[in-house]
A and B are shown apart, each in its own frame.
Chain A
Amino acid sequence: MTTSAILQAINGASLAALLFLLASGFTLSFGLMRVVNMAHGAYYLLGGYVGLTVVRITGSFWLAIFAGGAAIALLGLFIDRVLIRRTGENHLAQVLLTVGIAFVIGDLALWTWGGDNLKVPVPMFLRGAVELPGGIVYPAFRLMLIGIGLVVALLLWLLYHKTQLGAVVRAGVDDREMVAANGIHVDRLFMVVSALASFLAGMAGVVGGAFLTLYPGAEWEILVFALVVVIVGGLGSLEGAMIGALIVGLLDAYGRWLLPEFSYFVLFGPMAILMLFRPTGLFGKAH
């Protein structure tokens, strides 16, 4: 029984890593730019498909990750500057606009890559299983995913807390007008954060596509999970995205294992209860 429990914990952690990649960008976009981007899931899916095509052409998984991220970074930047910017801080308009964009991306993806479940092929050395202490055998790819998640989390954390850029972003999350008044190029700041958030989403699509597979509708399923992470962790908080991702990942893994038909309850129940007592999430701030 304990081996299964540990197995589920690792499952949860690998999902958490994926969700963190997606949620961190979403939460920072909101924290700094007050943008709610419901197309984030579509970014994930499209990034995954782009990565898949790159693997098919070049055979390199790592190039695919980079390509997926870069493609979405460019797309995200374009959408931000040309479309989302015109909605100002009207969250309703942003939600509708970005849902519309997600519909467009989703349908175009369907037209291009078809409706079958597609899997991004991983490099040979990651295809097998690894034996962990305690006799647990676990897919190597998922372990690597946890590794990627940790590395990205660490890099983001360092960027956010230990660099000049991060300091400016943190100040901007706290008080945007103040940052602008201090002569900092708010515009350029937004571009950087927007590109980074989109890059992470696209990258997440490639790694996610390797074990969750890519299919029409996946963009909404993953988005919901990312939303719960952000709701629980608190909008605008990097730490919140980390903790939230871990909570959601573990709840999902254990929920599916223990109560498969009600796994959504196990996941959303605690979220709903948290909402009642702390609407802004664990680390969020009331705006």
Chain B
Amino acid sequence: MSVPAIQLVGIGKRYGGLQAVESVSLTVAAGERRVLIGPNGAGKTTLFHCVTGTVRATSGSIRLFDTDVTRLDEARRTRLGMGRTFQISNVFMDLTVVENVLLALLGKDRRKWTAYRPLRMYPGLHEEAIAGLSAVGLESRANELVRLLSYGERRQLELALALATAPRVLFLDEPCAGLSPSERQLLSRLISALPRDITLLMIEHDMDVALALADRVTVLHRGKVILEGSPDEVQADPEVREVYFGHV
């Protein structure tokens, strides 16, 4: 049996008096497409933060393939193969589109310390950045300031940034949030076209997108896992229905 891509055991995150995430355990197999769903406030984003290292979990352990990353900082986890997008668009607004991807490429690269040579003397890096932009359909906007991009285009860029770090596991936090239907379609197509050597964990609100993409679904409610199963199983489950559409 191959090593699981992500293994969470008893993850908890407490903020003062609030237990945002409680005792979450889950295992994601390599190459799997796992979708995390749950109502607002269920703790999905907080869970992501704990796993990628944006915040420190108050309890539990996290394994990325065969490495225990619980004690490692976010930068280290990224270098080990975790990539992520944010729920609220987090790109480099005051830089150009291509500079954004260049930074993502430099994150794991020793050359980020070079101070005596202008960037334009690294054509290879530039090509790689443009290739990364082509993959998400943004190469025509390469030299524009991100500030001038539409929200949808920024979401595409967000994906490009995450991919540029060459992740083994990709964490997508509501990648299609706030997008028009056509933009949503574009982004979903990009995501479903991702190769299987990247494991995917996705938070999604849109049930249709989620169920179309997922191999397995984990349902979170009030910080705890209440169900895990195939998309059909989850969709049919009465407790899930109650949580989502339940008592008014």
Tell me if chains A and B make direct contact, with any CB pair below 8 A. Answer: no
